[in-house]
Structure 1
């Protein structure tokens, strides 16, 4: 019985130990970098400009490549961050459900790979293959796009809707209210926002606080 009890305790502690290791790696990386510079970025109602970034298939991707969509879900995410990893399956599920409705996911890695090697372009390809990404996964080479948006965390979500004046920002923030356990989510911020747009309604919760890892930039 004692052996069983010890084995059970060890099994229960394993996930916490792995999470602690990830957090320590994150702390070490932060020491080598600086947080993303403070930037105003987009606000609700602003018109987002298009971009052209390299996808993991080595092709350039821009929002103009999708003329038939109703909008986009731009998500700044990465390979290494525990928060980003926790949301990968949920992002894939969302894309599968909503790209057919007109709101595909466009994922962008904003991190400097010279600071965080796990976020290199080659490892982006590996991660996307491992997790079965169904959406473009783009590298923000030169880190020019995330400051335009004002992204500060991975993951950080921006919902854009096509209107006569352009791509209008309709939601900014988190995916939902529980990164640790999808089964315990009580507020699906992203889904609620897109559902409202699909129904021709105003988004009730337009902004939330993005919870995640800081975007990594090289120290000057």
Structure 2
């Protein structure tokens, strides 16, 4: 009986450890992000390599159903309109498993993108293979990448800003500050913040 208890305890520790490691895996500031090729709501496959003139990217892991993600949709559109012409377009990726959250199916994504008039690609992470590489855990979860001779380097990870509930009350614009710093050849002032949002549905 003691032996069985010990085995169960070890198994529990192993499972918890594995779960913790998976949550903590992902890019850190200074890492180089692998490219991806995911289906956009228009049916076309999209990768970062498609953007010949990009100086970097604003990558967001977001979805249809999370109220935090919905609250940020207009701000994501604004970010894309402001920075796409400067070389930092937005790419949105839905990491949720539609078998768990039916409202985040590819068909639902197409409807949402048209309803909101998304000006950026809205990609489906089919098989949930991309978000773990980034280490995304929330929707929305933001990543600012900068193009370098070695590849797309991670420069910022975290939240869009410091007030998801009220865009007019925002006092810290983390993503904007990061991209502005990079465009001016400066260090990103705040490199990481806590992503506020819903957990990714697996």
Same fold (TM over 0.5): yes
Which of 141, 166, 182 in structure 1 is aligned with 2:167?
182
CA distance in 2, matches of 1:131, 1:82: 15
User: Equivalent residues in 2 for 1:162-201 (5 A)?
Assistant: 162-201=147-186
Post-superposition CA distance 1:163-217 (Å, at most 9, x none): 0110000000000000000000000000000000000000010000000000000
Counting matched residue pairs gives: 184
- Structure 1 unaligned blocks of 5 or more: 1-33
Q: For 1:40 and 1:114, locate their aligned partners in 2 and report how far apart those are by CA, in whole Å.
A: 24
Partner of 1:109: 94
Structure 1 equivalent of residue 9 of structure 2: none
- 1:203 aligns with 188
Q: Deviations over 1:1-23 (max 9, x none)?
A: xxxxxxxxxxxxxxxxxxxxxxx
Uncovered stretches (5+) of structure 2, i.e. residues with no partner:
1-18
Q: Which one of the candidate residues 91, 96, 102 is aligned to 2:81?
A: 96
What residue number does 2:130 align with?
145
**Partner Cα separation in structure 2 for residue 188 and residue 83 of structure 1:** 16
C-alpha root-mean-square deviation of aligned residues, in Å? 1.5
Match of 1:126, SS? helix
Q: TM-score, normalised by structure 1?
A: 0.82
Compute the TM-score of the two structures, normalised by the length of structure 2.
0.89
Q: Secondary structure of the equivalent of 2:142?
A: strand
1:131 equivalent among 116, 126, 131: 116
Q: How far did residue 40 of structure 1 move? A: 1.6
User: Is residue 2:60 matched to residue 1:83?
Assistant: no
- 1:39 positional shift: 3.6
